[in-house]
Structure 1
Amino acid sequence: MMPIIFTVLLLSITAVSSVPKDRNGGEETNTSTLDNIEQANANLLSKQFSTSDIHSAPAGSISHLTYGDIMTDIIDDDGIVSNAVPCTSGSCLWNKTGNEVLVPYRITGFSGREKRIIQNAMNDLESGTCIRFVRKSKSDSSFVTFISGTGCWSYLGRQEGGQQISLQKNGCLFKDIVQHEILHALGYHHEQVRSDRDDNVIINFENIISGRENNFAIATTNNLDTDYDFNSVMHYGQFAFSKNGLATITPISSAVTEFGTATEMSANDFLRVNRLYQCFS
Protein backbone atom coordinates (compact mmCIF):
# COMPACT_ATOMS: atom_id res chain seq x y z
CA MET A 1 0.00 0.00 0.00
CA MET A 2 1.45 3.36 -1.00
CA PRO A 3 1.90 5.88 1.87
CA ILE A 4 -0.25 8.98 1.86
CA ILE A 5 0.95 12.26 3.38
CA PHE A 6 -1.68 14.85 4.25
CA THR A 7 -1.82 18.47 5.25
CA VAL A 8 -5.57 18.91 4.91
CA LEU A 9 -7.41 16.09 3.17
CA LEU A 10 -9.09 17.16 -0.04
CA LEU A 11 -9.72 15.24 -3.23
CA SER A 12 -11.79 15.97 -6.32
CA ILE A 13 -12.19 14.77 -9.89
CA THR A 14 -13.95 16.84 -12.54
CA ALA A 15 -16.96 15.15 -14.14
CA VAL A 16 -20.67 15.61 -14.53
CA SER A 17 -22.57 14.66 -11.40
CA SER A 18 -25.46 12.25 -11.65
CA VAL A 19 -27.93 13.65 -9.14
CA PRO A 20 -31.69 13.69 -8.73
CA LYS A 21 -33.64 16.80 -9.61
CA ASP A 22 -34.89 17.30 -6.08
CA ARG A 23 -33.65 17.04 -2.52
CA ASN A 24 -36.00 14.53 -0.92
CA GLY A 25 -38.67 13.86 -3.49
CA GLY A 26 -39.93 17.44 -3.65
CA GLU A 27 -39.85 20.09 -6.34
CA GLU A 28 -36.72 20.81 -8.34
CA THR A 29 -34.41 23.30 -6.61
CA ASN A 30 -31.20 25.16 -7.37
CA THR A 31 -30.50 25.87 -3.73
CA SER A 32 -26.96 24.87 -2.85
CA THR A 33 -25.97 22.65 0.05
CA LEU A 34 -23.96 25.49 1.53
CA ASP A 35 -26.86 27.94 1.12
CA ASN A 36 -28.97 25.72 3.35
CA ILE A 37 -26.13 25.17 5.80
CA GLU A 38 -25.45 28.91 5.86
CA GLN A 39 -29.07 29.60 6.71
CA ALA A 40 -29.15 26.99 9.48
CA ASN A 41 -25.87 28.30 10.93
CA ALA A 42 -26.67 32.01 10.60
CA ASN A 43 -26.73 32.60 14.35
CA LEU A 44 -23.73 30.37 15.10
CA LEU A 45 -20.94 31.81 12.98
CA SER A 46 -19.88 34.38 15.57
CA LYS A 47 -20.68 32.19 18.59
CA GLN A 48 -18.19 30.36 20.75
CA PHE A 49 -19.30 27.17 22.45
CA SER A 50 -18.25 25.98 25.88
CA THR A 51 -17.28 22.40 26.66
CA SER A 52 -20.77 21.80 28.01
CA ASP A 53 -22.27 22.79 24.64
CA ILE A 54 -19.97 20.59 22.53
CA HIS A 55 -19.61 17.26 24.28
CA SER A 56 -16.71 16.12 22.09
CA ALA A 57 -14.61 19.18 22.92
CA PRO A 58 -11.59 18.70 25.20
CA ALA A 59 -12.12 19.63 28.84
CA GLY A 60 -11.52 23.31 29.54
CA SER A 61 -11.89 24.34 25.91
CA ILE A 62 -14.21 26.38 23.78
CA SER A 63 -15.23 25.63 20.20
CA HIS A 64 -16.23 27.68 17.20
CA LEU A 65 -17.17 27.28 13.55
CA THR A 66 -14.74 27.89 10.71
CA TYR A 67 -15.45 27.84 6.98
CA GLY A 68 -19.16 28.02 7.70
CA ASP A 69 -19.68 24.55 9.17
CA ILE A 70 -16.41 23.05 10.41
CA MET A 71 -16.16 22.88 14.20
CA THR A 72 -12.75 23.43 15.80
CA ASP A 73 -11.68 23.42 19.42
CA ILE A 74 -9.68 26.22 21.03
CA ILE A 75 -7.74 25.27 24.14
CA ASP A 76 -6.59 27.82 26.69
CA ASP A 77 -3.30 26.40 27.95
CA ASP A 78 -1.59 28.63 30.53
CA GLY A 79 -3.03 31.71 28.86
CA ILE A 80 -2.09 30.59 25.34
CA VAL A 81 -5.06 30.11 23.04
CA SER A 82 -4.47 27.95 19.98
CA ASN A 83 -6.56 26.07 17.48
CA ALA A 84 -6.59 22.32 17.88
CA VAL A 85 -5.11 20.57 14.84
CA PRO A 86 -8.18 19.87 12.66
CA CYS A 87 -6.78 17.33 10.21
CA THR A 88 -3.13 17.79 9.44
CA SER A 89 -1.83 14.26 8.99
CA GLY A 90 -2.80 10.71 8.19
CA SER A 91 -3.66 10.26 11.87
CA CYS A 92 -7.05 11.86 11.24
CA LEU A 93 -8.05 8.99 8.96
CA TRP A 94 -10.48 6.39 10.24
CA ASN A 95 -9.03 2.95 10.86
CA LYS A 96 -9.00 0.38 8.10
CA THR A 97 -9.58 -3.29 8.90
CA GLY A 98 -8.77 -5.48 5.94
CA ASN A 99 -10.44 -3.85 2.95
CA GLU A 100 -12.98 -1.86 4.99
CA VAL A 101 -12.81 1.45 6.81
CA LEU A 102 -14.88 1.20 9.97
CA VAL A 103 -16.62 4.32 11.33
CA PRO A 104 -18.45 3.58 14.59
CA TYR A 105 -21.52 5.76 15.05
CA ARG A 106 -24.62 6.38 17.11
CA ILE A 107 -27.70 8.51 16.45
CA THR A 108 -29.40 10.35 19.30
CA GLY A 109 -32.41 12.67 19.59
CA PHE A 110 -34.08 11.87 16.26
CA SER A 111 -37.40 10.29 15.33
CA GLY A 112 -37.57 7.09 13.30
CA ARG A 113 -38.21 9.01 10.08
CA GLU A 114 -35.32 11.38 10.78
CA LYS A 115 -32.99 8.50 11.57
CA ARG A 116 -33.87 6.93 8.22
CA ILE A 117 -32.74 10.08 6.38
CA ILE A 118 -29.35 9.85 8.10
CA GLN A 119 -29.15 6.10 7.60
CA ASN A 120 -30.05 6.34 3.90
CA ALA A 121 -27.31 8.93 3.36
CA MET A 122 -24.81 6.62 5.04
CA ASN A 123 -26.04 3.60 3.09
CA ASP A 124 -25.59 5.49 -0.17
CA LEU A 125 -22.03 6.44 0.76
CA GLU A 126 -21.27 2.84 1.71
CA SER A 127 -22.64 1.55 -1.61
CA GLY A 128 -19.79 3.04 -3.62
CA THR A 129 -16.89 3.03 -1.17
CA CYS A 130 -15.16 0.83 1.40
CA ILE A 131 -16.49 3.00 4.25
CA ARG A 132 -18.61 0.96 6.65
CA PHE A 133 -20.66 2.62 9.36
CA VAL A 134 -20.96 0.28 12.33
CA ARG A 135 -22.92 0.69 15.52
CA LYS A 136 -20.73 2.05 18.31
CA SER A 137 -19.70 -0.50 20.90
CA LYS A 138 -18.36 0.09 24.40
CA SER A 139 -14.85 -0.67 23.19
CA ASP A 140 -14.84 2.05 20.50
CA SER A 141 -12.74 5.01 21.61
CA SER A 142 -13.25 7.04 18.42
CA PHE A 143 -16.76 7.37 17.02
CA VAL A 144 -19.30 9.77 15.52
CA THR A 145 -22.49 10.82 17.27
CA PHE A 146 -25.23 12.35 15.14
CA ILE A 147 -27.06 14.90 17.30
CA SER A 148 -30.08 17.11 16.73
CA GLY A 149 -28.09 20.18 17.71
CA THR A 150 -28.21 23.80 16.59
CA GLY A 151 -27.08 24.17 12.99
CA CYS A 152 -25.25 21.86 10.58
CA TRP A 153 -21.62 21.18 11.40
CA SER A 154 -18.91 18.56 11.81
CA TYR A 155 -15.26 18.26 12.74
CA LEU A 156 -12.62 17.82 10.02
CA GLY A 157 -11.32 14.26 10.04
CA ARG A 158 -11.28 11.70 12.84
CA GLN A 159 -10.69 13.26 16.24
CA GLU A 160 -9.33 11.40 19.23
CA GLY A 161 -12.32 10.22 21.25
CA GLY A 162 -15.96 10.79 20.33
CA GLN A 163 -16.96 13.59 17.98
CA GLN A 164 -20.28 15.01 16.94
CA ILE A 165 -22.06 15.77 13.70
CA SER A 166 -24.86 18.26 14.27
CA LEU A 167 -27.95 18.00 12.07
CA GLN A 168 -30.55 20.52 13.11
CA LYS A 169 -33.99 19.00 12.57
CA ASN A 170 -35.33 22.09 10.80
CA GLY A 171 -32.78 22.80 8.09
CA CYS A 172 -30.13 20.06 8.02
CA LEU A 173 -31.95 16.76 7.49
CA PHE A 174 -31.37 16.47 3.75
CA LYS A 175 -29.27 13.86 2.01
CA ASP A 176 -26.77 16.35 0.59
CA ILE A 177 -26.19 18.03 3.96
CA VAL A 178 -25.85 14.74 5.82
CA GLN A 179 -23.30 13.51 3.28
CA HIS A 180 -21.52 16.88 3.27
CA GLU A 181 -21.01 16.76 7.04
CA ILE A 182 -19.99 13.09 6.96
CA LEU A 183 -17.36 13.91 4.33
CA HIS A 184 -15.95 16.56 6.66
CA ALA A 185 -15.70 13.87 9.35
CA LEU A 186 -13.93 11.58 6.86
CA GLY A 187 -11.34 14.30 6.22
CA TYR A 188 -12.60 16.48 3.38
CA HIS A 189 -12.53 20.28 3.26
CA HIS A 190 -14.66 22.49 1.02
CA GLU A 191 -13.79 22.38 -2.65
CA GLN A 192 -13.34 26.12 -3.19
CA VAL A 193 -10.65 26.48 -0.50
CA ARG A 194 -8.26 23.88 -1.97
CA SER A 195 -4.78 25.10 -2.80
CA ASP A 196 -5.38 25.41 -6.55
CA ARG A 197 -8.76 27.14 -6.37
CA ASP A 198 -7.46 30.42 -7.85
CA ASP A 199 -6.77 28.51 -11.08
CA ASN A 200 -10.46 27.65 -11.28
CA VAL A 201 -12.56 30.36 -9.62
CA ILE A 202 -12.42 34.02 -8.71
CA ILE A 203 -13.49 34.95 -5.17
CA ASN A 204 -15.29 38.30 -5.22
CA PHE A 205 -14.36 39.50 -1.75
CA GLU A 206 -16.15 42.81 -2.29
CA ASN A 207 -19.46 40.92 -2.27
CA ILE A 208 -18.83 38.86 0.87
CA ILE A 209 -20.52 39.73 4.16
CA SER A 210 -18.09 41.64 6.36
CA GLY A 211 -16.45 39.28 8.83
CA ARG A 212 -17.13 36.19 6.70
CA GLU A 213 -14.14 36.54 4.39
CA ASN A 214 -12.22 33.88 6.32
CA ASN A 215 -14.70 31.27 5.06
CA PHE A 216 -12.96 31.65 1.68
CA ALA A 217 -9.37 31.42 2.94
CA ILE A 218 -7.30 28.95 0.91
CA ALA A 219 -6.36 25.86 2.91
CA THR A 220 -3.07 24.03 2.58
CA THR A 221 -4.16 20.90 0.76
CA ASN A 222 -2.69 17.85 -0.88
CA ASN A 223 -4.90 17.38 -3.95
CA LEU A 224 -3.30 14.07 -4.99
CA ASP A 225 -3.11 15.09 -8.66
CA THR A 226 -6.89 15.37 -8.99
CA ASP A 227 -8.85 18.06 -10.78
CA TYR A 228 -11.09 20.72 -9.32
CA ASP A 229 -14.68 19.50 -9.08
CA PHE A 230 -17.53 21.99 -9.58
CA ASN A 231 -20.06 19.19 -9.09
CA SER A 232 -18.87 18.11 -5.66
CA VAL A 233 -21.33 18.16 -2.77
CA MET A 234 -18.50 19.97 -0.94
CA HIS A 235 -18.61 23.04 -3.22
CA TYR A 236 -20.06 26.39 -2.11
CA GLY A 237 -22.82 27.93 -4.16
CA GLN A 238 -22.30 30.96 -6.38
CA PHE A 239 -23.77 33.40 -3.85
CA ALA A 240 -22.44 31.92 -0.61
CA PHE A 241 -22.12 34.55 2.12
CA SER A 242 -23.14 37.32 -0.28
CA LYS A 243 -23.97 40.67 1.29
CA ASN A 244 -25.59 42.20 -1.77
CA GLY A 245 -27.06 39.37 -3.83
CA LEU A 246 -24.08 39.39 -6.18
CA ALA A 247 -21.87 36.38 -6.82
CA THR A 248 -19.10 35.66 -4.35
CA ILE A 249 -17.64 32.87 -6.54
CA THR A 250 -17.14 33.21 -10.31
CA PRO A 251 -15.80 30.32 -12.41
CA ILE A 252 -12.87 31.25 -14.62
CA SER A 253 -14.16 28.99 -17.38
CA SER A 254 -17.23 30.33 -19.17
CA ALA A 255 -18.27 26.70 -19.78
CA VAL A 256 -19.19 26.37 -16.10
CA THR A 257 -22.68 27.83 -15.71
CA GLU A 258 -23.91 26.13 -12.55
CA PHE A 259 -22.23 24.70 -9.47
CA GLY A 260 -22.78 24.09 -5.79
CA THR A 261 -26.28 22.64 -6.37
CA ALA A 262 -25.56 18.94 -5.85
CA THR A 263 -28.32 17.13 -3.99
CA GLU A 264 -26.13 14.15 -3.18
CA MET A 265 -22.54 12.99 -3.61
CA SER A 266 -21.29 13.07 -7.18
CA ALA A 267 -19.58 10.11 -8.81
CA ASN A 268 -16.32 11.90 -8.14
CA ASP A 269 -17.07 12.36 -4.46
CA PHE A 270 -17.27 8.58 -4.28
CA LEU A 271 -14.07 8.21 -6.28
CA ARG A 272 -12.07 10.53 -4.06
CA VAL A 273 -13.19 8.73 -0.89
CA ASN A 274 -11.92 5.52 -2.47
CA ARG A 275 -8.62 7.16 -3.38
CA LEU A 276 -8.16 8.71 0.04
CA TYR A 277 -8.76 5.44 1.86
CA GLN A 278 -7.20 3.26 -0.86
CA CYS A 279 -10.37 1.21 -1.03
CA PHE A 280 -9.38 -0.82 -4.07
CA SER A 281 -5.62 -1.01 -3.66
Structure 2
Amino acid sequence: MEHEASRPVEKTRRRRCVLISVAVCLLVVVVLAVALPLAHRQTPDKLKATFTERCEAFKGYDCGKIWDAFTQAYVGRDPCKVPMEAYDPLIAAAPFKPACNRMMFWSKTKDVVHDFTSKRDCFITLEDTLLGSVLDGLTWCGKEGSKETFTTDCPGWTECENNPVRSFWNRASAAFADVACGDVTAMLNGSISTPFSSASIFGSIEVKRFNATMMRSLNVVLVTQKNPVANCENASLKDLQKELDGIKYTCKEVAESQIQECSSKPEKPCGACW
Protein backbone atom coordinates (compact mmCIF):
# COMPACT_ATOMS: atom_id res chain seq x y z
CA MET A 1 0.00 0.00 0.00
CA GLU A 2 2.77 2.44 0.85
CA HIS A 3 4.42 1.75 -2.53
CA GLU A 4 1.15 2.44 -4.37
CA ALA A 5 0.67 5.69 -2.44
CA SER A 6 4.10 6.98 -3.47
CA ARG A 7 3.35 6.82 -7.23
CA PRO A 8 1.46 10.15 -7.48
CA VAL A 9 4.31 11.86 -5.64
CA GLU A 10 6.90 10.41 -8.04
CA LYS A 11 4.80 11.45 -11.05
CA THR A 12 4.52 14.97 -9.66
CA ARG A 13 8.28 15.15 -9.16
CA ARG A 14 8.97 13.90 -12.68
CA ARG A 15 6.49 16.38 -14.13
CA ARG A 16 8.10 19.19 -12.15
CA CYS A 17 11.58 18.19 -13.38
CA VAL A 18 10.37 18.12 -16.98
CA LEU A 19 8.78 21.55 -16.63
CA ILE A 20 11.91 22.98 -15.03
CA SER A 21 14.08 21.50 -17.81
CA VAL A 22 11.83 22.97 -20.49
CA ALA A 23 11.87 26.35 -18.75
CA VAL A 24 15.68 26.31 -18.52
CA CYS A 25 15.99 25.40 -22.22
CA LEU A 26 13.63 28.20 -23.20
CA LEU A 27 15.60 30.64 -21.06
CA VAL A 28 18.87 29.59 -22.73
CA VAL A 29 17.30 30.02 -26.18
CA VAL A 30 16.02 33.51 -25.30
CA VAL A 31 19.38 34.57 -23.84
CA LEU A 32 21.25 33.33 -26.93
CA ALA A 33 18.75 34.99 -29.26
CA VAL A 34 19.39 38.32 -27.55
CA ALA A 35 23.10 37.96 -26.80
CA LEU A 36 24.40 36.67 -30.13
CA PRO A 37 23.13 39.57 -32.28
CA LEU A 38 24.48 42.02 -29.70
CA ALA A 39 27.86 40.28 -29.70
CA HIS A 40 28.13 40.45 -33.49
CA ARG A 41 26.56 43.88 -33.93
CA GLN A 42 28.86 46.44 -35.44
CA THR A 43 29.58 49.31 -33.03
CA PRO A 44 31.64 52.49 -33.53
CA ASP A 45 34.49 51.01 -31.46
CA LYS A 46 34.37 47.77 -33.44
CA LEU A 47 34.37 49.75 -36.68
CA LYS A 48 37.61 51.51 -35.75
CA ALA A 49 39.17 48.29 -34.46
CA THR A 50 38.26 46.42 -37.66
CA PHE A 51 39.48 49.30 -39.84
CA THR A 52 42.79 49.48 -37.97
CA GLU A 53 43.37 45.73 -37.89
CA ARG A 54 42.75 45.40 -41.62
CA CYS A 55 44.87 48.47 -42.36
CA GLU A 56 47.83 47.14 -40.38
CA ALA A 57 47.91 44.07 -42.62
CA PHE A 58 49.27 46.44 -45.28
CA LYS A 59 52.81 47.45 -44.32
CA GLY A 60 54.20 50.95 -44.63
CA TYR A 61 51.03 52.98 -43.98
CA ASP A 62 50.10 55.38 -41.17
CA CYS A 63 46.76 53.82 -40.23
CA GLY A 64 45.95 56.53 -37.70
CA LYS A 65 46.33 59.19 -40.37
CA ILE A 66 44.21 57.16 -42.79
CA TRP A 67 41.47 56.72 -40.14
CA ASP A 68 41.42 60.48 -39.52
CA ALA A 69 41.15 61.16 -43.25
CA PHE A 70 38.30 58.66 -43.42
CA THR A 71 36.25 60.12 -40.56
CA GLN A 72 36.58 63.73 -41.74
CA ALA A 73 34.56 62.76 -44.81
CA TYR A 74 31.31 62.12 -42.92
CA VAL A 75 31.53 63.09 -39.22
CA GLY A 76 29.25 66.03 -38.41
CA ARG A 77 27.45 65.80 -41.75
CA ASP A 78 23.92 64.99 -42.75
CA PRO A 79 24.25 61.29 -43.74
CA CYS A 80 22.46 62.00 -47.01
CA LYS A 81 24.77 64.87 -47.93
CA VAL A 82 28.20 63.25 -48.19
CA PRO A 83 29.40 63.66 -51.79
CA MET A 84 32.07 61.53 -53.46
CA GLU A 85 34.53 64.42 -53.20
CA ALA A 86 34.38 64.27 -49.40
CA TYR A 87 36.65 61.23 -49.65
CA ASP A 88 39.35 62.98 -51.69
CA PRO A 89 41.62 63.40 -48.61
CA LEU A 90 41.22 59.68 -47.85
CA ILE A 91 42.22 58.73 -51.40
CA ALA A 92 45.22 61.06 -51.08
CA ALA A 93 46.21 59.45 -47.77
CA ALA A 94 46.28 55.96 -49.30
CA PRO A 95 46.50 56.38 -53.08
CA PHE A 96 45.88 53.43 -55.37
CA LYS A 97 48.95 52.01 -57.07
CA PRO A 98 48.87 50.83 -60.68
CA ALA A 99 49.03 47.04 -61.01
CA CYS A 100 49.37 46.68 -64.76
CA ASN A 101 47.97 43.48 -66.30
CA ARG A 102 46.63 42.37 -62.89
CA MET A 103 43.65 44.63 -62.25
CA MET A 104 40.28 42.93 -62.05
CA PHE A 105 36.91 44.70 -62.21
CA TRP A 106 33.56 43.02 -61.65
CA SER A 107 29.81 43.51 -61.76
CA LYS A 108 27.27 41.16 -60.16
CA THR A 109 30.00 38.55 -59.64
CA LYS A 110 31.46 39.56 -56.26
CA ASP A 111 31.50 36.10 -54.65
CA VAL A 112 33.06 34.38 -57.67
CA VAL A 113 35.70 37.07 -58.12
CA HIS A 114 36.76 37.23 -54.49
CA ASP A 115 36.80 33.48 -54.06
CA PHE A 116 39.23 33.43 -56.98
CA THR A 117 41.46 36.33 -55.86
CA SER A 118 41.59 35.02 -52.29
CA LYS A 119 43.21 31.82 -53.58
CA ARG A 120 45.27 33.21 -56.47
CA ASP A 121 47.43 36.33 -56.32
CA CYS A 122 47.60 37.01 -60.05
CA PHE A 123 44.70 39.50 -60.02
CA ILE A 124 43.75 42.35 -57.71
CA THR A 125 40.29 43.83 -57.18
CA LEU A 126 39.34 47.06 -55.46
CA GLU A 127 38.49 45.07 -52.33
CA ASP A 128 42.03 43.64 -52.28
CA THR A 129 43.56 47.11 -51.95
CA LEU A 130 44.05 48.84 -48.62
CA LEU A 131 41.03 51.15 -48.83
CA GLY A 132 38.77 48.51 -50.34
CA SER A 133 39.83 45.97 -47.75
CA VAL A 134 39.42 48.11 -44.63
CA LEU A 135 35.83 49.09 -45.45
CA ASP A 136 34.48 46.03 -47.24
CA GLY A 137 31.18 44.95 -45.69
CA LEU A 138 31.06 47.79 -43.15
CA THR A 139 28.44 50.47 -42.48
CA TRP A 140 29.07 53.95 -41.09
CA CYS A 141 27.67 57.47 -40.99
CA GLY A 142 27.71 60.70 -39.05
CA LYS A 143 24.98 63.02 -37.83
CA GLU A 144 24.75 66.74 -38.37
CA GLY A 145 26.09 68.55 -35.31
CA SER A 146 27.69 65.41 -33.82
CA LYS A 147 31.36 64.47 -33.57
CA GLU A 148 30.58 60.77 -33.34
CA THR A 149 30.62 57.88 -35.80
CA PHE A 150 27.46 55.79 -36.02
CA THR A 151 27.06 52.26 -37.35
CA THR A 152 23.29 51.91 -36.96
CA ASP A 153 20.38 53.95 -38.31
CA CYS A 154 22.51 54.92 -41.30
CA PRO A 155 20.84 55.36 -44.71
CA GLY A 156 20.75 52.29 -46.95
CA TRP A 157 22.47 52.11 -50.33
CA THR A 158 19.44 53.34 -52.28
CA GLU A 159 17.88 55.49 -49.57
CA CYS A 160 19.73 58.60 -50.73
CA GLU A 161 22.37 59.01 -53.41
CA ASN A 162 25.01 60.82 -51.36
CA ASN A 163 25.11 58.53 -48.34
CA PRO A 164 28.55 57.88 -46.76
CA VAL A 165 28.93 54.24 -47.83
CA ARG A 166 27.76 54.68 -51.42
CA SER A 167 29.83 57.83 -51.92
CA PHE A 168 32.93 56.07 -50.63
CA TRP A 169 32.59 53.12 -53.00
CA ASN A 170 31.85 55.43 -55.92
CA ARG A 171 34.94 57.53 -55.16
CA ALA A 172 37.19 54.54 -54.52
CA SER A 173 35.97 52.85 -57.71
CA ALA A 174 36.79 55.97 -59.71
CA ALA A 175 40.28 56.17 -58.22
CA PHE A 176 40.91 52.46 -58.81
CA ALA A 177 39.82 52.77 -62.45
CA ASP A 178 42.02 55.86 -62.89
CA VAL A 179 45.14 53.70 -62.44
CA ALA A 180 43.99 50.77 -64.61
CA CYS A 181 46.79 49.90 -67.01
CA GLY A 182 47.95 47.27 -69.47
CA ASP A 183 45.60 44.35 -70.03
CA VAL A 184 42.64 44.70 -67.66
CA THR A 185 40.10 41.99 -66.83
CA ALA A 186 36.42 42.27 -65.91
CA MET A 187 34.25 39.42 -64.62
CA LEU A 188 30.61 39.91 -65.59
CA ASN A 189 27.55 37.80 -64.89
CA GLY A 190 26.28 35.60 -67.72
CA SER A 191 23.29 34.46 -65.67
CA ILE A 192 21.42 37.74 -66.10
CA SER A 193 19.95 39.33 -69.23
CA THR A 194 22.17 42.44 -69.11
CA PRO A 195 25.72 41.54 -68.01
CA PHE A 196 26.77 45.14 -68.57
CA SER A 197 24.58 47.82 -67.02
CA SER A 198 25.29 51.50 -67.55
CA ALA A 199 23.70 52.11 -64.13
CA SER A 200 26.16 49.88 -62.24
CA ILE A 201 29.34 51.22 -60.65
CA PHE A 202 31.30 49.42 -63.33
CA GLY A 203 29.24 50.99 -66.11
CA SER A 204 28.58 54.45 -64.69
CA ILE A 205 31.96 55.14 -63.09
CA GLU A 206 34.78 52.68 -63.75
CA VAL A 207 34.44 52.21 -67.51
CA LYS A 208 34.14 55.97 -67.97
CA ARG A 209 37.47 56.48 -66.16
CA PHE A 210 39.42 54.00 -68.29
CA ASN A 211 42.24 55.75 -70.14
CA ALA A 212 43.33 54.47 -73.56
CA THR A 213 46.82 55.92 -73.05
CA MET A 214 47.28 53.60 -70.07
CA MET A 215 45.10 50.60 -70.92
CA ARG A 216 45.83 48.25 -73.77
CA SER A 217 42.77 46.00 -73.53
CA LEU A 218 39.69 45.06 -71.52
CA ASN A 219 39.17 41.32 -71.41
CA VAL A 220 35.66 40.35 -70.30
CA VAL A 221 35.23 36.99 -68.58
CA LEU A 222 31.51 36.23 -68.81
CA VAL A 223 30.81 33.84 -65.93
CA THR A 224 28.16 31.29 -66.88
CA GLN A 225 26.11 28.65 -65.07
CA LYS A 226 24.66 25.43 -66.52
CA ASN A 227 21.95 27.32 -68.39
CA PRO A 228 23.48 30.70 -69.28
CA VAL A 229 21.13 33.59 -69.97
CA ALA A 230 23.65 35.74 -71.84
CA ASN A 231 26.63 35.16 -74.10
CA CYS A 232 29.35 37.36 -75.57
CA GLU A 233 26.98 38.50 -78.33
CA ASN A 234 24.69 40.13 -75.76
CA ALA A 235 23.50 43.62 -76.73
CA SER A 236 24.66 45.13 -73.44
CA LEU A 237 28.20 43.92 -74.12
CA LYS A 238 28.07 45.63 -77.49
CA ASP A 239 27.27 48.81 -75.58
CA LEU A 240 30.29 48.20 -73.36
CA GLN A 241 32.50 47.79 -76.41
CA LYS A 242 31.34 51.16 -77.74
CA GLU A 243 32.41 52.82 -74.47
CA LEU A 244 36.01 51.66 -74.90
CA ASP A 245 37.38 54.34 -77.17
CA GLY A 246 40.82 53.21 -78.32
CA ILE A 247 40.91 50.20 -75.99
CA LYS A 248 40.96 46.66 -77.41
CA TYR A 249 38.03 44.48 -76.30
CA THR A 250 37.72 40.71 -75.96
CA CYS A 251 35.06 38.51 -74.40
CA LYS A 252 35.07 34.86 -73.37
CA GLU A 253 32.32 32.76 -71.83
CA VAL A 254 33.68 30.73 -68.91
CA ALA A 255 31.80 28.30 -66.67
CA GLU A 256 31.85 29.22 -62.98
CA SER A 257 32.80 25.61 -62.21
CA GLN A 258 35.90 26.01 -64.39
CA ILE A 259 36.93 29.14 -62.48
CA GLN A 260 36.41 27.41 -59.14
CA GLU A 261 38.42 24.38 -60.23
CA CYS A 262 41.24 26.56 -61.50
CA SER A 263 41.36 28.63 -58.30
CA SER A 264 42.14 25.47 -56.32
CA LYS A 265 45.15 24.66 -58.53
CA PRO A 266 47.90 27.19 -57.72
CA GLU A 267 50.31 25.47 -60.09
CA LYS A 268 48.08 26.37 -63.05
CA PRO A 269 48.79 29.76 -64.71
CA CYS A 270 45.90 32.18 -64.15
CA GLY A 271 45.66 32.92 -67.85
CA ALA A 272 44.87 29.26 -68.47
CA CYS A 273 41.76 29.54 -66.27
CA TRP A 274 39.99 31.06 -69.27
Tell whether the structures are fold-level matches, with TM greater than 0.5: no
Instruction: Give TM-score, length-normalised by structure 1.
Output: 0.23
User: More strand per residue: 1 or 2?
Assistant: 1
Instruction: Give TM-score, length-normalised by structure 2.
Output: 0.24
The higher radius of gyration belongs to 2
